[in-house]
Structures are given as structure tokens and as C-alpha cells.
Structure 1
């Protein structure tokens, strides 16, 4: 466990759901500084040390972005692996092969490693990632340990719900998402909890 400046954290993905970030910010603002400190003590940000000993975040990107936007200076990290001896290309190749990165843009298209922002402030909004987070909270699927499982759900929704419909009426789009989540078409996704015949 090491305190690291939030502004120095490096993402390992291109997008976040900004509605998710807003919820984290709201939670941080609604509690006392003491409670926030306790919360952050139990929600350490997992990182992999990369070239130049930089901290590359492998989870909790939404929290890190919220902390940055709320002006919270430091966060505790837990180092999952020290790959700082690798050159940049080898480092990203290892991250990719260990499922420690998600180089997909807001349209669900895989991009080159250089498309990943250098700071949390550079993360781009993917409204379908926000839908996936809300879908999980509403019981559409169960929390799962599969890396980037909510991005898999986001991609599923992206292929079935029009982006304009999401932008115009998020709540209505969520009703459609809940129905889609229970369908047989979604049974391959991590945490699926639709009806079964047994």
C-alpha cells in the first residue's frame, strides 16, 4: 500500500461511463472527510508498475476519475505486479495478454495502445458503460470477477440500443436494457442471471 498522487495515475482503458463518475463524485461529496478516508482505506486502487515506475490502474478507473474531479490529491494503491523493467511495447503487450487493459473506444472499437490516455482526465465518456453499471445496480446481472465484465455488457447493449435513444431518455433505455439482460441472447455474458428452465 502506497499513497500516490491521483493526477499521476495512468489509465489502462480509453473510456469510462461519466454517469458512473458522477455517482462516485456524489458519494464522495455526501460523506464526511473521515468517512471518505475510511472508504479510501478499504478501496485501494490496483496498479501495475510500468516503465519509469509509473502507476497503471487496472481497476477503479471511475473512482480515480471522481477523486481527480473532486480535488482529492492522493489515493492508496496496491501494486499487483512490477513490470517497470519492460520497455513500453512489451509492457502494453503483457498488460493486454493478462487482461489488465481494455483498449476499446467509446464506439466499442479496438484501438492501438497509444489511444489510451496518459491521465485519468483524458478518459472519454462511453454512455453504454454507464448503462452497464446501472444495469448491474438494478439487478440485470450479478457482479463478476471477469476482467472488464461491465464493458462486455456495454458492448452487448451498444449493439441493441440506439445511442440517440440513450442520450434522449436514459431511463427509458434502461428499461429496454433490463429486458435485454434477461433474454437468452445475453446468457454468454459474465454475471448473467436471466430465467432458466431448471
Structure 2
């Protein structure tokens, strides 16, 4: 399988959930040898080639950022499409039309594509992105193959819950988030499971 240095991967989103990245990095740090190799191999990063032949990650930003923090320098990649002949404007429009780019900051505000970061590990922390993952892991909704599903839940929670400032507040909001995810207010979001039985 083809691999690339993590510092060669360009992000296609502005934010990630730092809590989620740190949690994954801790897991990777505990693995050694073959176990680590297998964990890395099971999550290849899907990429597209952009202008100048740069490799852009269109998913698994959290995995790549966590591996970087765990001192892993290369990741397996899977080439999805080659857009290297497109202009920058055509490239970003194509990515957005395919739901492979998410140019929104940690406040949920639309930004320009010029605001995209150069490296995956420098993405802005969005605590609600971590919350959406925590709620999913706690059974609030099911994981799907819908592109950018976590960001849709992220935005839902940002508009429904206060921003947590401590670990205790984050834990309490995760519990509230699970309950909220099962209400009719979340109907239509990917992985919605309906009211709790």
C-alpha cells in the first residue's frame, strides 16, 4: 500500500476535535511493533491530488493528526481522484460539490478556501466536533458513511448546548447530547436512531 509522510497531506477542513485527537494519540502510543502497524494499516487516508500535485486528505484527519502526535511520520493512503489539472478555484469547488471539503471554523462560520491550513496537526480545535464523536461513541447515534456526518452533529450540538469549559462539563454535555440526539430535534441527521425506548 502506498504511504505518504503526514506532513505532505493537506487538510480539506479547518477544524478537528482536539479531545478526540488526543484520545486516539494515546491509544496509538500504547501500541508497539506489529500491533501498531496493523492499527495504522486499517485506516488508510483517502486522498485526492490537487493543483501542483499536492495530496489532500478528504477523510481521517483525526487519525492522521493523532498518529503525528504519536510520532508516526507516514500513513497509508488511497488515491480517490486526481484533480491536479484543475485550477485552485475549480479544485475547491469540485471538492465542496463532492462533500470532500468543509471550510467552516470552530464557531461554525463559513471561511474562504485561502484560510485552509497547510498541515493536518495545526487544525483549529472545535470542542463540539469532539462532543459529536463522544455522543456517537456513547450510543447517541450510529456511525454512517455519510460524508461529514460528524460536522452535521457538531453544528446541531453547537446550536443546542453551551460550550463546555472543563472535563466535567464535557462529560455532562455528552450525557445531555445522547438524550438530545434521540429527540425529534435531531430527526434527519445521519445515524439518527429515534427516541430512546
What TM-score do the two structures reach when normalised by structure 2? 0.95
2:193 paired residue number: 193
Unaligned runs of 5+ in 2: none
Alpha-carbon RMSD: 1.3
Q: How far apart are 1:51 and its partner, in Å?
A: 1.1
CA deviations on 1:91-124 (whole Å, 9 max, x unpaired) are: 1111011111111100011111111111113200
Of residues 159, 167, 185 in structure 1, which corresponds to 2:165?
A: 167
Q: Which moved more, 1:188-197 or 1:95-104?
A: 188-197
1:16 paired residue number: 16
1:59 paired residue number: 59
Unaligned runs of 5+ in 1: none
2:129 paired residue number: 129
1: CA distance between counterparts of 2:31 and 2:68? Answer: 17
* Number of aligned residue pairs: 195
1:156 paired residue number: 156
What TM-score do the two structures reach when normalised by structure 1? 0.95
2: CA distance between counterparts of 1:128 and 1:196? Answer: 22
Runs of 4+ in 1 over 4 A off after TM superposition: none
Are the counterparts in 1 of residues 26 and 70 from structure 2 also a CA contact under 8 Å? no
Are the counterparts in 1 of residues 135 and 175 from structure 2 also a CA contact under 8 Å? no
1: CA distance between counterparts of 2:89 and 2:177? Answer: 38
